[in-house]
């Protein structure tokens, strides 16, 4: 068996977009990922389903794996011929014990790479609006561990030299020792009025900042019950936070939002959440695909053979457009055969998808639902005309039924089918149980139904209770009705059944909760 390889990767401080391209490549090519609690949940969700995940961090209900055991685990996995990604928070060379892991790999003749990451020492303060250097305030900085016991800190840190060596002092993993650290800095020459900031879980949804001075920060930490992990910033640069804090001002800051759309469509919603300061957690619960059954394929081929007989082609979703044109390509049907047909779209996104293919929608409703489209079409269609409705297998029957009532011959065509998705995601369950999911978005009734089913498969006895602490935002009234039927309390319904409408309703719900 050929020997594997180990990538010792810095994941960055938590925001998944702060991992390097090389780090992401190593993560995506791995057969096994060994990670701890400092790796962000959104980044972990990008690990392919087939990859073995091994958690080696601290949990209340599990024995903590010792560093020597982690070192040996990496060796054992590589000896099994696996490509291993050892995912570490921040940069692996900054208090990441990468030297020990790489050392044992070398002793065993195992190939490895060290992939640097953005250290939390500079990234976390930046997300709190604190630059670690400033031309007028600090031209240098020091990074110091604060994790050790006071007696060991005294052996490893020369307080008389460190205290005033640089303008800014950064202590990692030092929340529990904040009183002792402050005491030593004051003792060795720093003013008791020196500004101090503690930034917890920086770059993640849980980010929180506490500001004080060397003389009062211990008391403030105690009163606020401020828990680790956090980066401690000491120096005048902390004053910059008043002017430069930025991410806290975004409307979705501090909110981790569950995105249940299919993987192919999730990016637009996830990107908007990210732009607005939220943290999207993608958990696709549906997949769309071409129908494979011989009867369905035969029906599609038969309907497209009559392309020149249609007066209307009515499309109710972007998926409908995408799969309709895929079938045209698959069957070799020339779009020009629909020369007599007018195209109607249920909303602006559907119309935009048509426009990209050189087709302008004739009927565009004010209400982005089938009922709205019917209102738009009622004044334009004529009895005896023929309409083609390329759509999904779960579409409602209201549109073909009402078009038939108007005297049209309607051909409903299932050009795609929606199937359940949603792999077992233990981390998602933990987030829900701990209140780490602050909102959930639903873009169709099928996303509601399939999320509830996925949670049951993962062991949740009552998915509705598990989601009770999260705001529930739905793209429209029909989706909201489905959510309520499943026992969910709907917090927000988009006024316009679009992604932007959903985002606006989510912002309003978030502001109300704040």
Four-residue CA torsion sign, 135, 137, 140, 142: negative
Cα 234 to the chain's mean position, in Å? Answer: 32
Tell me the C-alpha distance between 391 and 397, whole Å: 11
Which residue from 416, 398, 407 is spatially nearest to 346, judged by alpha carbons?
A: 398
What 3-state class would DSSP assign to 221? Answer: helix
Q: What one-character DSSP code corresponds to residue 134?
A: B
Catalytic residue among 15, 31, 91, 173: 173
Cis peptide before 229 (omega within 30 of 0): yes
Which residues touch 364 (CB under 8 Å, ≥6 apart)? 344, 345, 347, 348, 351, 376
Instruction: Please report how many Cα atoms fall inside a 13 Å half-sphere around the Cα of residue 259, on the Cβ side.
Output: 26
Catalytic residue among 5, 15, 31, 36: 36
Is 49 catalytic? The answer is: no
In this structure, the number of other CB atoms found within 10 A of the CB of residue 152 comes to 11
In this structure, the number of other CB atoms found within 10 A of the CB of residue 222 comes to 11
Edge-to-edge order in the sheet of strand 111-115:
52-55, 32-35, 83-88, 5-10, 111-115
Residue with tokens 């009867």: 295
Four-residue CA torsion sign, 465, 471, 474, 480: positive
Is 36 catalytic? The answer is: yes
Cα separation of the two ends of the chain: 57
Tell me the C-alpha distance between 41 and 50, whole Å: 17
Which residue from 193, 195, 153 is spatially nearest to 176, judged by alpha carbons?
A: 153
Instruction: Please report how many Cα atoms fall inside a 13 Å half-sphere around the Cα of residue 308, on the Cβ side.
Output: 3
Catalytic residue among 3, 17, 58, 106: 58
Pairing of strands 386-392, 342-345: unpaired
Report residue 380 as tokens.
């334009």
Is 58 catalytic? The answer is: yes
So which residues are the catalytic ones? 36, 58, 173
């Amino acid at each position: 068996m050929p020997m594997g390889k180990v990538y010792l990767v810095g994941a960055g401080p938590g925001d998944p977009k702060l991992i390097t391209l090389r780090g992401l490549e190593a993560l995506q090519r791995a057969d096994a990922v060994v990670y701890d609690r400092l790796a962000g949940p959104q980044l972990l969700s990008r690990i392919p389903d087939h990859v073995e995940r091994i958690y080696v961090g601290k949990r209340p209900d599990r024995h903590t794996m010792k560093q020597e055991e982690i070192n040996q685990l990496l060796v054992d996995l590589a000896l099994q011929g696996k490509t291993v990604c050892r995912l570490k928070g921040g940069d692996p060379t900054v208090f990441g014990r990468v030297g020990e892991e790489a050392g044992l790999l070398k002793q065993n003749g195992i190939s490895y790479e060290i992939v640097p990451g953005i250290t939390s020492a500079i990234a976390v303060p930046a997300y709190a609006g604190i630059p670690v250097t400033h031309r007028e305030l600090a031209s240098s900085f020091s990074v110091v561990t604060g994790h050790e016991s006071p007696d060991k800190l005294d052996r490893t840190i020369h307080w008389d030299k460190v205290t005033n060596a640089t303008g800014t002092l950064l202590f990692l993993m030092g929340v529990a020792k904040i009183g002792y650290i402050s005491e030593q800095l004051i003792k060795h020459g720093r003013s008791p009025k020196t500004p101090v900031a503690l930034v917890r879980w920086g770059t993640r949804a849980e980010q929180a900042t506490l500001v004080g001075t060397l003389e009062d920060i211990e008391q403030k930490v105690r009163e606020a019950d401020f828990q680790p992990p956090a980066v401690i910033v000491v120096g005048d640069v902390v004053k910059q936070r008043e002017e430069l804090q930025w991410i806290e001002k975004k409307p979705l800051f501090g909110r981790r939002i569950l995105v249940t759309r299919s993987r192919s469509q999730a990016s637009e919603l996830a990107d908007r959440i990210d732009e607005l300061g939220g943290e999207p957690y993608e958990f696709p619960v549906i997949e769309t695909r071409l129908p494979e059954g011989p009867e369905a394929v035969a029906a599609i081929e038969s309907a497209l053979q009559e392309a020149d007989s249609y007066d209307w082609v009515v499309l109710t979703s972007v998926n409908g457009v995408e799969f309709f044109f895929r079938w045209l390509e698959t069957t070799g049907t020339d779009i020009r055969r629909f020369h007599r047909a007018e195209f109607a779209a249920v909303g602006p996104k559907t119309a935009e998808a048509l426009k990209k293919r050189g087709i302008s929608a004739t009927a565009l409703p004010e209400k982005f639902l089938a009922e709205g489209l019917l209102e738009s079409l009622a004044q334009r269609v004529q009895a005896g005309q023929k309409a083609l409705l390329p759509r999904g297998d779960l579409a409602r029957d209201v549109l073909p039924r009402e078009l038939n009532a108007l005297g049209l011959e309607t051909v409903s065509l299932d050009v795609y089918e929606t199937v359940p998705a949603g792999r077992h995601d233990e981390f998602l369950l933990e987030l829900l149980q701990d209140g780490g999911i602050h909102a959930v978005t639903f873009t169709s009734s099928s996303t509601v139904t399939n999320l509830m089913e996925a949670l049951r498969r993962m062991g949740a006895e009552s998915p509705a209770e598990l989601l009770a602490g999260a705001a529930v935002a739905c793209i429209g009234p029909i989706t909201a009705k489905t959510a309520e039927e499943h026992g969910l309390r709907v917090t927000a319904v988009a006024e316009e059944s679009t992604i932007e409408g959903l985002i606006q309703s989510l912002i309003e719900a978030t502001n109300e909760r704040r």
